[in-house]
Amino acid sequence: MNLNISDFIKSILSSTTFRVVFVFSILILVAASGVFYFESDRNSDQYGNLFDSVWWAFVTVFTVGYGDIAPKTLGGRLIAIFVMFSGISLLSLITATISSIFVSKKIREDQGLESIKYENHIVICGWNNRAESIVDTFIALSGSKIPKVILVNELPEDRVNAVLDKFRKYSVKFVRGDYTRAATLERANIKAAKIAILLPNLAQLSPADADEQTVLATLTIRSISSKLKIIAFIMNRENEAHVKRARADDVIISDQYADFIVASNILEPGLTNILGRILSPTSKNMIVTMPIPVKFHGKKFREVSEYFRSQHHVLVIGLLAQVESIGLSDFLSADTSHLDAFIEKKLKEAGKTLGEENKVVVNLNPDDEYVIQENEKAIVIQ
């Protein structure tokens, strides 16, 4: 601890900002003391105390020129001349130093080298040809409540700048680095994030290698935060089990519904148009979830459906519930007893856990007599 404090003090003392402030303070004190020495006797009405002299020194250095206090003695005026010349140079140096700090910070931020202190934000790791469209769609669906977004990848600087310029007004920031490394994720303040989205890094890797990176990134994020929601995109279906074992909350497989849409459109002409209208971010008929009023808890689905139809003019097509499972850490005791170790070992050997991740339960087109539970939301078509 002492070593850290010592290093901190040394870093402050060696910084350019501290040196400039120190020299400026010395100039003010010397000038104020000198002019007070010469003026206190012959010009006591203006230089009645040391504070008046300090005030005069500040006004002179910053070239404000109020004229309320002015030296009359030869010594006082010589000091004034010295303060004027040295003050201009020092003021220029202070301005340049402050500007340099802000410009340097802005450059480092644009290059993705600065730590970002967002909270409750979205972290998008990786990049591919769909990433920009995903951000566009996400912003369109968010309406007026657009959360802050941090992009984490290793794209070339010109490509990153183009993306940042496009989304500048939406508080989109960039962190450069390998998102499988904890240090990079910490610069994106992953602990305070709301959701982490992992995209296949196809700009630099093959589909197989991109999926391996997604698994590794999921493990790294989970080691930092056990509660953060992780949505992982993968290219190959056979890697789904690996990503789920790494404890991703949702796994999306590339083009997993393409075959179904094509085949179904042959058997059911017009299906593509229906899905396009429901899934389009610009459509008025999107599928969304809505909270069910407390008064309907314990009531039948028929009553809820009628309520949403009459009051909100939407069609209820099902129910969604997020069930919080008991995690392994919640089940085992605080100490590392042999019994706890045995239980954990046997669970892992069986490839099972105690529900370490939350489970989303979807109930489409339930029976009219189905009883609504407290943790359920309505799935509706607007």
Name the residue ranges covered by the structural domains of the chain.
2-110, 122-256, 283-381
| Percent over 70 (pLDDT), the chain | 81
- Give the SS3 label for residue 61: helix
Query: 213-217, 317-321, 323-327, 371-375: which range is least confident on average?
Result: 323-327
pLDDT confidence bin for 331, thresholds 50/70/90: very low
Whole-angstrom distance, CA of residue 337 vs CA of residue 367: 48
pLDDT at 226: 85
The answer to whether 189 touches 115, Cβ cutoff 8 Å, is yes
User: Could you give the strand order of the β-sheet that contains 195-198, starting from the edge strand earlier in sequence?
Assistant: 172-176, 149-153, 122-125, 195-198, 229-234, 250-253
pLDDT in tens, 74-89: 888 888 888 888 877 7
Closest CA to 314 of 244, 251, 381: 381
Query: 55-59, 121-125, 196-200: which range is least confident on average?
Result: 55-59
- Does residue 198 carry a pLDDT above 70? yes
pLDDT at 301: 92
Closest CA to 316 of 326, 324, 306: 306
Query: How wide is the angle at C-alpha 33 spanned by C-alphas 31 and 34, nearest 5°?
Result: 65
The answer to whether 124 touches 135, Cβ cutoff 8 Å, is yes
Longest dimension (CA), the chain: 105
Higher pLDDT, 61 or 8: 61
Neighbouring-strand partners of residue 123 = 150, 196
- Does residue 305 carry a pLDDT above 50? yes
The one-letter code for the residue type at 170 is Y
- Give the SS3 label for residue 123: strand
Q: Which fold has domain 2-110?
A: Helix Hairpins (1.10.287)
Tell me the CA distances in angstroms from 79 to 24, 45, 57, 89, one per residue in order: 15, 19, 10, 16
- Does residue 306 carry a pLDDT above 90? yes
- Does residue 195 carry a pLDDT above 70? yes
The answer to whether 326 touches 354, Cβ cutoff 8 Å, is yes
Query: 33-47, 205-219, 293-307, 354-368: which range is least confident on average?
Result: 354-368
Distance from chain centroid for Cα 298 = 39
Residue 56's CB is within 10 A of a number of other CB atoms, namely: 26
pLDDT at 82: 85
Query: 24-38, 84-98, 222-236: which range is least confident on average?
Result: 84-98
pLDDT in tens, 257-268: 666 677 777 777
* 169, two tokens: 């007004």
Whole-angstrom distance, CA of residue 119 vs CA of residue 116: 9
According to CATH, what is the number of the domain 283-381? 3.30.70
pLDDT at 355: 47
| Percent over 90 (pLDDT), the chain | 19
Q: Mean of the per-residue pLDDT values for the chain?
A: 80
Whole-angstrom distance, CA of residue 303 vs CA of residue 292: 11
- Does residue 108 carry a pLDDT above 70? no
Whole-angstrom distance, CA of residue 312 vs CA of residue 78: 81
pLDDT confidence bin for 12, thresholds 50/70/90: low
**Range 281-306 average pLDDT:** 87
Q: Tokens 């009459």 belong to which residue?
A: 310
**Range 335-352 average pLDDT:** 54
- Does residue 58 carry a pLDDT above 50? yes
- Does residue 56 carry a pLDDT above 60? yes
Residue 146 DSSP symbol? P
Tell me the CA distances in angstroms from 235 to 135, 160, 173, 239, one per residue in order: 19, 23, 26, 8
Pick the CATH number of 122-256 from 3.40.50.720, 1.10.238.10, 1.20.810.10, 3.40.50.450: 3.40.50.720
**Range 359-363 average pLDDT:** 82
**Range 210-225 average pLDDT:** 91
Q: Tokens 């995209």 belong to which residue?
A: 199
